[in-house]
Amino acid sequence: MDSYIYWVASTMIFSLFGIPALSTPAGLTEDGLPVGLQIVGNRFAEATLTALAKEVQAQISIGSAPI
């Protein structure tokens, strides 16, 4: 993406409507590049998203086998 605006545009809609979203590390590619997982939930489901991200991090640690 050419600028920061393009990175923000894909997530801005969630903020505009008050929908919780987060990103969590999800491993590494074969080239060692980090992979992230974006999780979007229902309104007021921040605790559920945080618990899910914690579980993802516990199951897939950075430095594990490539995706």
pLDDT above 80: residue 2: no
Q: How many CB atoms lie within 10 A of CB 26?
A: 20
């979007």: which residue's tokens?
A: 40
Question: How high is the pLDDT of residue 1?
Answer: 60
Question: What are the backbone dihedrals phi and psi of residue 4, each rounded to the nearest 5 degrees, phi first?
Answer: -60, -35
Q: What local confidence, expressed as pLDDT, does residue 63 receive?
A: 54
Q: What is the pLDDT of residue 67?
A: 52
What would the pLDDT profile of 37-66 be if each residue is shown by its tens digit? 889 999 999 999 999 988 988 888 665 555
What residues pair up with 34 in beta bridges, in sequence order?
28
